Structure 1
């Protein structure tokens, strides 16, 4: 049991790290820089030896990137299949459903991590002894997640380390949310000109390598370039979309595409995948379309930090319902609806329903409103 001095030093360190992460959550940085700064703060106090950071589709939580200063990307090929197909302990979706922000494999298994398929197939063979996972959710958006591994000689993660991770995760989520809004693309519709480009189509084989791709898909692959392209032959979002399509066809309870992803120029696209055959290992066709307003509404609402009730009111307002109709639908008073609308307009940087709907439908106004959302103070509590 730690002595009083050790406990006090840990508490001071805990407060310092959370204070610096709070400052990070108020900055507007690319996600890669958010991860770099979070790593520098957390590694010394959580005591991990390997970390894998992920961006994710804010609406579904599906992983869309992998960043790791420690792990070999070649090990990630099996990780994708385990993440989609494996019924395992303390996965990212399981942690989210638990209402927690973080969990350790040792705690989730009662000190017997060998019960985990992920531990047996990946963590232990890679030379690690325990894993801590965290989900970076903020204001309704699922902005990213991470897995932190530590060497066996460090022992299992302690309760106070898990407590710190639970407190840190929402702050990192807030930083990633601001990264999306601050880039001016929270609700940006992908477009290369006045008319939206035609869909891009490519077909991946059982190993998720490209079999066929049209010209538009080839061009898009260049704007989704990532380290994982060298491993899989295509960027990770295509692999995740294909594997989820296979899992859906096999009757697995997984989120069904589309998968939302941003290109290097900041535009959002939606990936729709369909299995071309009866076997789960059949080729998969992935159709990529510019993300339209309906597909971006969950991302936009989360980026602006709408509460659940504000998002409901905003959606009804976008559909054209008046105040009385919204009040009747939600079983609240018209005055309550007006209060929620005021908060929605303030966070979105608009002054009226007409401007709000226009913001959702047009790229330029969405960009301006997203930038305004970054500099305006939030009017509701929470990250």
Structure 2
């Protein structure tokens, strides 16, 4: 961390001490601004499996009404520095001006989102931990301001992993707010071919009301749409038009700590054209939660399989028989699982996983 100490070291330390993820984003943005000036910013949690925007989201000097233009540029157009590509690249950070050789008009995001807002450059960074994306950050400078430099890019790239680890830890812990009464069934939202909301059920409104407070996209209806809904719908449209491949699926956590899964898909008209997009919000199945937990603790597929059997009370000998491996190999896997999840017994492991899967099992 010598590239940004001591200010960067203080930023990371405070990130770990934050009360929740929203406070982490607030504190990190304030301290990063002292190191690296910017005029606007967006901090987002990410689904570590699909790299889609999740919750919460913090915006600074950018209104929610512009969210749709941003994600349509990101997911429906051939754009520069896409988050999914940065999540897999050698460096998790990139600036628009440098990447386009000072020709930002090559970017759909610049043309449809930044230029109308008077923004001249964007510095993106994916907060990565365990080779997974846990946060997506955009820093903006206005037109006429000095563009982000290579040194700026290297600074935020150096912060990516330590901040990613802190975000991952906060996503695992959830919030301490009391849980509200849950809706009786899945929430359903319908969007037209242009991504505009056309209908929803009461359950959708109730589920969305339980999400962390964050900027929403204004629309004529009585329901406010957060960024992760807009992003999932845009991803579904990208898949339907063969611009991308799936899934249009994102896991989010309510203020009470309940994991939800949001999945979107486009329907076809009778003529085979892309029609409405349906988005469903419902409690996450254990399989969905397991994929998040596996990413959070860097469990291999075999380790996750053994963890599931342990949480069901299956003894070592029976695990070995079911998986056609030796009991000694099972014990080696269990030791690795304990090390990665920071527990020292089967009981503690079961408690850790059951706390994340506190709701009745849905498969």
- Which TM-score band applies after superposition, normalised by the shorter structure? 0.7 to 0.9
Contact 2:266–2:275 (CA under 8 A) maintained in structure 1: yes
Instruction: Indicate whether 1:21 and 2:11 are aligned.
Output: yes
Partner of 1:293: 286
Q: Which has the higher contact order (CA 8 A, sep 6+)?
A: 1
Task: Give the TM-score taking structure 2 as reference length.
Answer: 0.81
Question: Mapping of 1:173-322 within 5 angstroms?
Answer: 173-183=164-174, 197-206=184-193, 208-224=195-211, 226-231=214-219, 233-278=224-269, 282-303=275-296, 306-307=297-298, 310-318=299-307, 320=309, 322=319
Contact 1:24–1:175 (CA under 8 A) maintained in structure 2: no
Q: How many residues matched?
A: 342
Question: Alignment partner of 1:344: what SS?
Answer: helix
5+ residue gaps, structure 2, are: 310-317
CA distance in 1, matches of 2:208, 2:258: 13
CA distance in 1, matches of 2:343, 2:184: 29
CA displacement, residues 235-261 of structure 1 (integer Å, 9 cap, x when unaligned)? 333322222222212122243133211
- Please state which structure has a larger fraction of its residues in helix: 1
- Aligned-residue offset at 1:184: 6.6
Higher alpha-carbon deviation: 133-142 or 336-345: 336-345
CA distance in 1, matches of 2:295, 2:19: 17
Contact 2:261–2:281 (CA under 8 A) maintained in structure 1: yes
CA displacement, residues 184-234 of structure 1 (integer Å, 9 cap, x when unaligned)? 79xxxx9968xx953232323345454333332232232236431435843
- Aligned-residue offset at 1:366: 6.4
- Aligned-residue offset at 1:97: 2.3
Partner of 2:312: none
Question: Alignment partner of 1:282: what SS?
Answer: strand
Question: Alignment partner of 1:67: what SS?
Answer: strand
Contact 1:242–1:273 (CA under 8 A) maintained in structure 2: yes
Partner of 1:143: 134
CA distance in 2, matches of 1:349, 1:146: 29
Cα RMSD, aligned residues only: 3.3
- Aligned-residue offset at 1:146: 1.0
Question: Mapping of 1:40-79 within 5 angstroms?
Answer: 40-65=30-55, 66-79=57-70
CA distance in 2, matches of 1:23, 1:114: 38
Question: Mapping of 1:80-159 within 5 angstroms?
Answer: 80-159=71-150
Question: Alignment partner of 1:71: what SS?
Answer: coil
Question: Alignment partner of 2:247: what SS?
Answer: coil
- Please state which structure has a larger fraction of its residues in strand: 2
Question: Alignment partner of 1:276: what SS?
Answer: strand
CA distance in 1, matches of 2:117, 2:148: 18
- Aligned-residue offset at 1:102: 0.7
Partner of 2:314: none
